[in-house]
Chain A
Amino acid sequence: MSTPETGSQGNGLPVVSVRDLSITFSTDDGDVHAVQNLSFEVAEGEALGIVGESGSGKSVTSLALMGLHRGTRAQLSGEIRVAGIDVVTASDQEIRAMRGNDIAMVFQDPMSSLHPQYTIGNQIIEAYLTHRPTASRAEARRRAIDVLDRVGIPEPAKRINSYPHEFSGGMRQRVLIAMGLVCEPKVLLADEPTTALDVTVQAQILDLLDELRRDLRMALILVSHDLAVVAGSVDNVLVMRKGVAVERGDVRQVLNSPSHPYTQQLLAAVPRIEISRAQRRAQLRAEREGKTTPAAAETPAPSQRSTDEEPLLSVRNVRQRFRIRGGLFGGATDFYAVDGVSFDLYRGETLGIVGESGSGKSTLSRMIMRLLEPTEGTILFQGRDITHLPERKMRPLRRDIQMVFQNPYSSLNPRMTIGDSIGAPLRIQGERDDKLIRTRVQELLERVGLEPSHYNRFPHAFSGGQRQRIAIARALILRPQLVICDEPVSALDVSTQDQVLRLLAELQEDFNLTLIFVAHDLAVVRQISDRVLVMRKGKVVETGDSDEVYENPQHPYTKQLLAAAPVLDPDAARAHRAERRRLRAAQPDTDVA
């Protein structure tokens, strides 16, 4: 991969070289070719990004690099050499000596990748002593403190005795990186290291990886589903699809002028933070008209609302208290998950709510749904106070407020056919005519881009994106006024995400829907929202017209979020990194997560 003209730091021999690698799983239904004829090289100190959607074979490949395919049903052919060791043919003992010593791996989910019952010190020291059997325990401990310090764990000498649950997600990922660094490996392999993390934490971890590889002259293999994540951190990029490498080359070249149609398609699907709502809308409409959609009289763009129009939803100073149990006699302390939030939402509008985990954005949407009863404040829906409405009176109103949830895999009942799932709200609202229900459901299935004949299938027969379409159909069957989407696309691949977002935009126009769109991804929110609400720790830190907030953020937290958002242009990404460094230096008290 390291070609002379890339001018990357790689000037030594390749530390990782993969030749003609194929990985096959034999199943009852025949062989599954997870990876086919894959070849690449990573030179000393080089950074390679491997990008692909789910099922592209990127994770299988990274596990194979570590020799972690052993003991599974995977069958390998071809050659993998890591630091001179042939991973395919080496003995188990040689592989163990390589793991952690020559090549270290950082995994996707820091919450579950550390052993909950041992201190982080114990786990790091164990890794060191495995490969340096002659070292004393005291020496290993000193080394562990060094690496913890290196990855930015404050007070490492004290924290070395802490257990994983005493750290946040970002800190745990730092610990895992420290564990990887302890034996000074030649290659660090990071498989989706930031997917489970918040945007600002993601930026911190990516910055750390970048810094470490430069300072320690390690090679870095960064595996991700997100092109924007790798853009600023790697020299070369390899795009995979269904087990085959479709394109590889210098990151600037691949991202600026992709040659393979799949790469082009992938790039087009990535939500761009720099594109405004209006631009996106115009683009979608143009595409839609270009297509042969039935020439239904297009409703004009939602008219500018007049100031005297009554808002559909009006939220005033709502607070939600949770009691945290604890104390000697079961005493409780109060914690406000949502703390004094107010906003108005008009018909046909989309309100984006952005925030990181713990910001209270999901709690807020549950309060509006009245799945939670607000502790304080008022919620007016269509001018009616629903703040403390009892469930019995709330039920008829539920047909007007519907919700689409984050996880399409767990929010559909696996034992109900999708037709029954979508039709259930109609039944609950008192519809008895089975034929009518069936027709309505099938119409809607077609409208969200599924086959009406899928009525009797079960959820497991559908992909994540299709399931989210089903969830959307279920939310729309009652023709609601307001739909709350809580992270509807965050569990989906980029191209699926794009399709679902397009669908939502179309449906909004066709059904004149009012949307609340809750998400942590700033770019996604910008594309769909007229106005945004930036939340942090239960409070609204900034609100306004979405273009205004994105182009001219006022609050430092909003600025920090925008600086942390991954961007596609490799040079812009590097500029952002510099900007983040500046922001961090300017505000040393900003919480490191």
Chain B
Amino acid sequence: MLRYILRRLGASVILLLVVTLMTFVIFYVVPRLAGRTTEQLATMYVGRAPTEAAIQATIKRLNLDQPLIIQFWEFIKGIVLGADYTFGNDVVHCAAPCFGYSFQTYQEVFPAILERLPITFSLGLGAAVLWLVGGVAVGVISAVKKGSIFDRISMGLALGAVSLPIFFTGQLALAFLVHDWGLFPNARYTPFTEDPIAWASGLLLPWLTLAFLHAAQYARQTRAGMLETMGEDYIRTARAKGLKESRVILKHGLRPTLTPILTIFGLDIGLVLGGAVLTEQVYSLNGIGRFAVTAIVQSDLPVILGVTLFGAFFIVLCNLAVDLLYPLVDPRVRTAR
């Protein structure tokens, strides 16, 4: 068991390194392969209207004139230990973990991300609870009442929901539910610590929008898994024991169905916590996703890089969490590895 945990941890560290390398390659190596010179590359990190002096300074700051391996080393060193950037006579320290420094807004990227983290977390976690509970519940009922009106309607809706992007459903919700009918307050973020009720009511619509899309997928998955599980021999054994049907479904049927769903959930929540780009943009919530969108519009490369890295780290961490939870859910994993 300890062995399993250590192996998962080791694998995650290696994965993080690989993710960092990939990000580095995308931002520092690919442009060169596409024919950019060192100067042109540096220009991208300076922002708009660069002067020759500023470009030269940037080359020095980012070690762009050094061999790639040194550049990568400095890149990693920056993340782990922090880095110093010199501006003429000034030295700016970017504290560890240094995900970069924006030369447009003159701020460190990591603290800027942290500042927006509560918004993204509030949005992501709330929506995740909704879509997991809602999706699984609908899926179970659909499977148990296979072929019923409920099953047909919910699966039809689910098919629709999976195919509708958030910028469509979100805009519709804004136009009708908020403006025309006034059923929901407009989306706004109030910190939970200040006013929990305002926090919840302000996020309700973004939660529902984000959850709607995911819940559809979970409902379909749960339904399919449940139909398969309920045909297993051990379900017949459970019935032969004289258990109530509700117990057969909820204890014996649901657990094996949820096991693969846990894996998908780990991926999805990692993705959302790294920034729910579309939802944040549609509802003007200043989370990490919106931060990234702004940076892209202004071609603030260090911020884009930082957010990318941060998002990737979150996916790796959530997967690690799922891997560590797995033996609790499925005992066979404990001895199998």
Contact = CB atoms under 8 A, between A and B. Distances in A.
Contact of A116 (B3, B6, B331): B331
A107 B233 CA distance: 9
Nearest to A162: B331
A127 interface: yes
A165 B332 contact: yes
Interface in A58-72: 66, 68
A96 B241 CA distance: 8
Contacts of B232: 112
Given A107-B233, A109-B233, A328-B3, A117 B331 contact: yes
B77 interface: no
Given A163-B332, A165-B335, A114 B234 contact: yes
A33 interface: no
A510 interface: no
Contacts of B297: none
B179 interface: no
Contacts of A245: none
Contacts of B48: none
Interface in A20-75: 66, 68
A117 B233 contact: no
B242 A131 contact: yes
Contact of B7 (A66, A116, A119, A328): A328
Contacts of A117: 255-256, 259, 329-332
A256 interface: no
B239 A99 contact: yes
A202 interface: no
Interface in A125-164: 126-127, 130-131, 163
Contacts of B242: 96-101, 127, 130-131
Contacts of B236: 68, 107, 113
A401 interface: no
A445 interface: no
A179 interface: yes
A176 interface: yes
A166 interface: yes
Nearest to B234: A115
A565 interface: no
Interface string B84-110: 000000000000000000000000000
A494 B242 CA distance: 34
B241 A126 contact: yes
B233 A112 contact: yes
A88 interface: no
Contacts of B332: 116-117, 163, 165
Interface in A398-444: none
Q: Which of B3, B233, B237 has the most CB of A within 10 A?
A: B237
A16 interface: no
Interface of B: 3, 6-7, 232-234, 236-244, 252, 255-256, 259, 329-332, 335, 337
Interface of A: 66, 68, 96-101, 104-105, 107, 109, 112-117, 119, 126-127, 130-131, 163, 165-166, 176, 179, 326-328
12 contacts: A97-B242, A105-B240, A107-B237, A112-B232, A116-B256, A117-B256, A117-B330, A126-B243, A163-B331, A165-B331, A166-B335, A326-B337
Given A113-B237, A117-B256, 12 more contacts: A97-B242, A100-B241, A112-B233, A112-B234, A113-B233, A115-B238, A116-B331, A117-B255, A117-B259, A130-B242, A165-B332, A179-B237
